[in-house]
Amino acid sequence: MDSLKNRMLGAMQNKLGQFSVCARIAVKLRNQLDAIIASHLNDGIDMYLNGELWLIDSVAPKAKVFFDVGANTGVWSKLFLSKMPKPQKGLLFEPSPLAVRYLKSNLKLGIQENFIKIIQAAVCDQSGQMDFFMEESAGETSSLIKKHSKSQTQKITVKTTTIDSEVLNHDLGFIDFIKIDAEGYDLHVLRGAEKCLSEKNVGVIQFEYNKPWANSSSTLISAIEYLNNHGYEVYLLKKNGLYDFRYEIYGEYFRYSNFVAIAPGYLDVNPLCL
């Protein structure tokens, strides 16, 4: 019976697929359904309400070293730093020279005390140079992806680096937390941390999944499988904790959500709400 229903459904889909109007309706419907899925899987972009603050409160009190990839003006770093009793090192990566000015002002105390280092570079999977599309007033969607940034941008050439390179340059061991907000290049950032991940030298990684992933040849399943292959478990971050994420149900929806990867054994020592 199920086989017959599947054949009938397949035949109907094939028939409707022959009409352009049906395909256009299907695309519009798919976009709306993806938006509904995303709404179910995130609690908005406000870091004080969407789980990011919860995660900071859970990790920062025991953290000594953190990386902020895509630091922008330093709001996240300043909050994370305020929850660290004994910070040793924080590396803040930001390619926009406009945003770096704000960073230097907002993190002045940490810079003076020599545990905050601002690196004016984009982080990805290789060191070199790339075009960067910089928005006015240190806009948060300045990006290596032109289509993602607002229309009024200035194209500049920026230095690129990798997590592995910077760990080596600064002679660092274990990194408690890496926050990645690379406006579509998050998977590339993860791939540039191959050595760190292989050696389990990062405790917790938070990364943002969003629409520009599609423009950087990135998929959520690639990120999940890559992290799983290095022994890291990947969870969905929402306002009151971490949740198991079933990719086989939700698939790719290319909308805003935050995910958290956790090193093997980390939860045994630092239990979080799952």
User: 119 CB contacts (<8 Å, ≥6 apart)?
Assistant: 91, 92, 93, 94, 161, 166
Q: What is the pLDDT of residue 273?
A: 55
- Model confidence at 6, in pLDDT bands (50, 70, 90)? confident
User: Rounded to an integer, what distance in angstroms lies between the CA atom of residue 131 and that of residue 158?
Assistant: 6
Q: What is the pLDDT of residue 113?
A: 87
CATH H-level superfamily of 43-269: Vaccinia Virus protein VP39 (3.40.50.150)
Mean pLDDT of 190-211: 97
Domain boundaries, the chain: 43-269
Q: What is the pLDDT of residues 157-189, one digit of tens each?
A: 999 999 999 999 999 999 999 999 999 999 999
Q: What is the pLDDT of residue 1?
A: 64
Q: What is the pLDDT of residue 48?
A: 96
Q: What is the pLDDT of residue 11?
A: 86
CB count in 10 Å sphere of residue 115: 18
* 274 pLDDT more than 70: no
Q: What is the pLDDT of residues 223-249, one digit of tens each?
A: 999 999 999 999 999 998 999 999 999
Q: What is the pLDDT of residue 8?
A: 85
For tokens 């990947």, name the residue.
Answer: 234
Q: Please give the share of the chain, as a percent, with pLDDT higher than 90.
A: 80
